[in-house]
A and B are shown apart, each in its own frame.
Chain A
Amino acid sequence: DVKVTQSSRYLVKRTGEKVFLECVQDMDHENMFWYRQDPGLGLRLIYFSYDVKMKEKGDIPEGYSVSREKKERFSLILESASTNQTSMYLCASSPGVEAFFGQGTRLTVV
């Protein structure tokens, strides 16, 4: 079974902190994605990566950056957390047609 693991299920951070959300997949997938999920808005794509050290902006990249130093790991970075970044963050990986999701990280910024 494909496994996509997000490092934390729940996080509480203070405004202005630098926050790292980690995602690891064990199936050698080329493509990895970060989404945020908010009620009534569905999933919105923040960033995606189709290869090591490659990244592409999604629909809402402002306030975020990403890092993909190794194929299995895709990190989402909030440079200076703000309360409007309180959300559920979902990581996904894909070899092509199917996307596999992690359990999600619920981040609260206070």
Chain B
Amino acid sequence: GEDVEQSLFLSVREGDSSVINCTYTDSSSTYLYWYKQEPGAGLQLLTYIFSNMDMKQDQRLTVLLNKKDKHLSLRIADTQTGDSAIYFCAALGTTSGTYKYIFGTGTRLKVLA
């Protein structure tokens, strides 16, 4: 079945760039997403990219998509302590005409002051 994989932890220093990586298996995924979850909260959509794009930039966030390798990354420039959270990669896939979101395990980003 469809699968989305991420590393579990990432630690960076404040002011550095963070890069969170994700791989997915469903080549028919039309949209790929990055969500952020702060402690005790639900998931907040950060950004998403359509599968025919290879890059999307939104302020400090840059999403890169390598469709051939089924690899998605999220780069956060000038990482701040407020960026500490769990980041989930997700892919939108279709099954029997209906669609569903497949999530990765989440990457816990820790920003060191």
| A residues adjacent to B (C-beta < 8 A) | 4, 31, 33, 35, 40-45, 48, 50, 56, 58-59, 90, 92, 94, 97-104
Contact = CB atoms under 8 A, between A and B. Distances in A.
Interface stretch (B10-18, B36-44, B71-79): B36-44
Contact of B48 (A40, A41, A56, A98): A98
Contact of A98 (B8, B41, B45): B45
B100 A33 contact: yes
A99 B45 contact: yes
Q: Is the interface of B mostly helix, strand, loop or mixed?
A: strand
Interface residues of B, number: 26
A62 to B, nearest CB: 16
Contact of B100 (A41, A58, A100, A101): A58
B9 to A, nearest CB: 11
Given A42-B88, A97-B92, A104 B103 contact: no
B113 to A, nearest CB: 25
A42 B33 CA distance: 14
Contact of A33 (B8, B101, B104): B101
Interface in B63-113: 88, 90, 92, 98-106
B41 A104 contact: yes
A48 B100 contact: yes
Given A35-B103, A90-B42, A99-B45, 19 more contacts: A40-B8, A40-B105, A42-B6, A42-B88, A42-B103, A42-B104, A43-B43, A43-B90, A44-B103, A45-B101, A56-B98, A59-B1, A92-B43, A97-B92, A98-B48, A99-B101, A101-B35, A103-B41, A104-B40
A97 B42 contact: no
A99 to B, nearest CB: 6
A102 B7 CA distance: 25
Nearest to B107: A42
A65 B25 CA distance: 28
Given A42-B105, A59-B1, A97-B31, A50 B45 contact: no
